[in-house]
Structures are given as C-alpha cells and as structure tokens.
Chains A and B, each alone.
Chain A
Amino acid sequence: MVYTLENLKNDLHGAWAITRKDLTIYYLKPNIYMSGILFPLFMLLAFAVGRNAPIITLIPGLIAITALFSASSIEPVSIPIERRTKTFDRLLSAPISIFALVLGESISGLLFSYSICILMLVAGAILYHLSLVSILILLVGIALSCFTFANLGTVFAAYPTENVGEVMSLLNLVRLPLIFISGVFIPLEAMPSWGRAVSAISPLTYASDILRYGFEGVTHVGLVTDIVMLLLFVIIFQLIGNLLYKKFNE
C-alpha cells in the first residue's frame, strides 16, 4: 500500500494526540522525576564536590545529562505501564502507523525534557551573559539533544515487558557509561585515543559539545558535525524503533 499525504496527515495527528496524552498523564509521575532529573543532578553535584570545580563550568554538562536522563525516561516508564493496563493495545490497534506511535512517544519525551532544560538554560544565561547567537544555538542544540535521547528511550521501551524496572535497568546499562565517555565529566582531550574513538559513537558527545559551544564558544568536534550527528542519531533511533515495535507486536 502506498503511503499518501492523507496517511501522513493522519499519522501526525495521531502522534500529536499520543504526545498530549502522555504529557497529561505522565508529567506528574514521581519516578520520571527521580530518574530524569534528581538522579543526574546528584551525580553531577557529587562530581563537582570532588573536583572543587566552579559551578558555572558545570552548567553545559548538567544540561546535557539532564537532557539525556529526562528525555529518555518518559517512554520507558509509560509504555510498560500501558502494556500492563492494556491501553498500549489501543495505540497498536488504532488506524495510525507504527511510525506515528514511535514519533508521538518520542515527541512527548522531547517536550517534557525540553521544558526542564530551558529552565536550566535560563539560569545559565543569567550567569554566563550569553549573546543572542549563542542562545539560538543553545535552543536548537537542546531541542536536538532532547529529541535524540527521547528516541533512545522509545527504542528501549520497545522491549516487550510490563515491568518498568526491566526497561530502566537495560537503559541505564547504556546511559550511565555514556556519561563517562562523552566528555561531560572527563574532557575529551584528557581521554586516551581509544576513549575518544568510543566517544564518537555516543550521542551525548555531540549533545554536550554543542551546548559547550553555545555557552563558551569552544567546540571539539565542530558545530556542523554536532548537528549532523545528532540528526543522524534521531534517524537511526527512529528506524530501529519502527523495526522493534513492528517485530515485537506480531
């Protein structure tokens, strides 16, 4: 069957309905705040105390890992819960494609985490005296980062379980190591060459790099590379997500 413009319109509508539903229901769930915000915050504070680094230099990294943890936390919580209550079947049996489902779920992660990161950005902007250009880069960079990580969360939530903990521990198996190989805590230039090679396949590398550029005007990999790589990760995660949701629902 050909995918028509009408199909696309319906899918976008469906995706948007799913996003709004997710935001209404899940933005008040405590475990999303726990693993999405408090957890990265405490990690960073623990790190900062040990290093005696000035708080201000931590803001780009803090926003980057908050984007990672908050954007990727909604779907791994909401989808297993909806599998248990069978409301997920409602989404799977509606006249919308899997693409609409994956997109809608990811956009809710994006919006949730974007609003949190913007609050942090405001705080950062006051401390940093940012220029208009860098604010623009930051707004785009945060949006791209949040969407990438939201898609990551959606991909992990495809794991067919009704147990939130199972998805979360799988996800943390990936999220936690990412922090140490992506130049957030340990600067890229201080890493051995194998470490830098690994960091090239971490979306968090590009997220934290574009934020550092926005705040401090320094970049290790280049602004264009950051944007291209983040977009590439979005596309890859979307494709994997579509494949997995199809596969696990046959």
Chain B
Amino acid sequence: MNAIEVTTLTKHFGSLVAVNNVTFTVPKGEIFGYLGPNGAGKTTTIRILTGITAPTSGTATIFGHDIQREKLTARSSMGIVPETSNIYDDLSAWKNLMFSAELYHVRKSERESRATELLKTFEIYDRKDDKVHGFSKGMKRRLTIAMGLVNSPPLLFLDEPTSGLDVQSNLIIRQVIRDLNEQGVTVFLTTHNIEEANLMCHRVAIINRGIIAAIDSPERLKKTIQSVQAVELALEAMSADIIEALAHIPHVNDIRREGDKLRLYTEDPGSVVEAAMAYLREKHIRPISVNTLGPSLEEVFVRLTGLDKGRKNEKTVT
C-alpha cells in the first residue's frame, strides 16, 4: 500500500486553478519533494492532503484512507508542519508540545517522554519552560516540527521546512528528516529550494501553476536535459569584447555571467574548451580556472517550469 495516492486532484479558487489535475503516488519510506516557485500550488496540495481544504475534484488517500471520507483515521497517521510556524506564543515550548500531544491522542504515559526526547533532538530542551514568545525563528521552526512529530507519525508533511533559516537550524532539521526516513517514516516536503530537493529527496515532482511538469529522481531529471552542459571560465580580466568573442564560438548556445565567472552553455563542451583556450591564448588572457558543468537540477527546473522565457535569445551578457 502506498503512503499517498493522489488521483486527478484539482482545486479552484474562483476562476483560479491552484492545483490542476495532479496525479502521483508516494510509496512508503520515500522522501518525496514537491518543488515549485511561489504560487505553484504546493501549500494548496498539502492542505488538501491533510484534509484542511476540500478538493474541487479528484481524490487523495493516505495509507488507503480517503482524506475526505475517513478524515480522522487518515489524519491520525500523519504529522503536519505547515508553512508558518504555528505555535502558541503565550505558552511554553513544553505546554505547546503537551497540547499537540493531546490533540493527537497520545497517551498520557507517553506524552512526557516523547516531548522530552523531541526537545532534546531539536536542541531546545534547555528552553522548554520558556514562553515561545522570545524564541528565534529557527527555534520556533524546530518546535513546530517537534509538534508535528509528537504522535510518532508514519507520514510527515513538511511545507517549506527550512525556508529562511540559519545554518544551524537547517542542519538539525535536515538531519532529523534523514534519521526519521531511515526509521521508515515517509516524508512529503515542499520547497522552492532546488538544492534542498536535490539533497534530500528520493523523487521530486516539479510543479508550476498547479500543473506537474515532471516527476522523477533528481539524477534522472538532470539526465532529461543532457543538452544543458556548460564550460565555466574564471578569467583574470573580463570585458564586453571578450564575452562577445566567446559567445561566437561555434556550439555555444548561450553565455551567462555568474558572479566572477562566465558560463558557456553547449552540447559539446570538448570543442568549446578547445576553441575558448585558443582564443584566450591568442589574446594573452590567462584563465584562472576552467570547469565543465553537467546540468543542475536548477536548470531542469527552469526549463520545465518555463521560467527561462525571455532569456532564451540572450546570447550575450553585459
């Protein structure tokens, strides 16, 4: 049985189609990423899967239980971490966890040991009796995730778990997600951070304007656009003339300036390197470094979501 099965799910808000005919399954034990830009429909999908919002059409099941018809059964096997850290500012971290445990019917004998364990895992145990009011953003986020785990759910929904956090919080959260997954917990996470999806997820669905553009493992998604390879040059000196000249090397489809480096996009990195080096030698410009790059998940994403429209014909950069 799959952890999540979604069939032709659609959600309208008035004339806006926030989620458009989406179908996918998440097998048990997978970390499934839902990757998309702002307004893609990520949160709306999570709200439907957790039974907060009703879909306009289509169905979703959680471990075989329909989220609309068997809402409470479906929910008792999930943990939910919403986009906003929704904790009670006026309660202590401990009381927040106790409240969450009660809502999820965790037995009295287990509540306290579970809460202690979670607070330690998320490194907020020494602040457990402080009101959450004074917590940093990262601490609030960690507590929100702890509250989502209080019922030891076999399925965890995370809506942008690490968005806007510092390195320490990020590392803790990612490590917890990996550990949970090793213990068999299925994870559904949304993100607009491509690197996060690449690092964390077994499979990624790329969604844009409510439509899923592709679902596959990060590696296979990269392979689908093998043509996007690049030669990356760092030069001692850079000028519009040099960029112009490099852009006209045969097989260079596109040239972009990324920080202090130039990227020459091509299907034939070998010949481009040769031609570029010949040109540089002739002009007596010393390259500081030369790299060839495979396609990144970002490029797959940009391609599939059509976010590169308007950049297509950009052969030169100024």
Contacts and interface: CB of A to CB of B under 8 A. Distances in A.
Nearest to A90: B86
Contacts, number: 69
A153 interface: no
A10 B72 CA distance: 10
A85 B80 contact: no
Interface string B49-89: 01111100000000000000111110110001010101111
Contact of B52 (A7, A95, A96, A249): A249
A189 interface: no
A55 interface: no
Given A95-B105, A96-B103, A250-B54, A25 B75 contact: no
B135 interface: no
Contact of A25 (B54, B86, B88, B147): B88
Interface in B93-128: 95, 99-100, 102-105
Nearest to B87: A87
B302 interface: no
Interface stretch (A13-21, A30-38, A67-75): A13-21
B90 A25 contact: yes
A92 B54 CA distance: 12
Most chain A C-beta atoms within 10 Å of own C-beta, residue among B52, B82, B95, B99 = B99
Main secondary structure of the interface of B (DSSP, over half): loop
A121 to B, nearest CB: 30
A21 B95 CA distance: 9
A222 B280 CA distance: 103
Contacts of A86: 82, 84, 86
B84 to A, nearest CB: 5
11 contacts: A1-B69, A1-B73, A10-B105, A24-B90, A25-B90, A85-B89, A87-B87, A91-B103, A93-B52, A94-B75, A95-B72
Interface of B: 50-54, 69-73, 75-76, 80, 82, 84, 86-91, 95, 99-100, 102-105, 147
Given A10-B105, A250-B54, 7 more contacts: A14-B105, A25-B88, A89-B52, A90-B100, A90-B147, A95-B71, A249-B52
The 5 closest A-B pairs by CB, nearest first: A17-B102, A86-B86, A94-B103, A95-B75, A95-B76
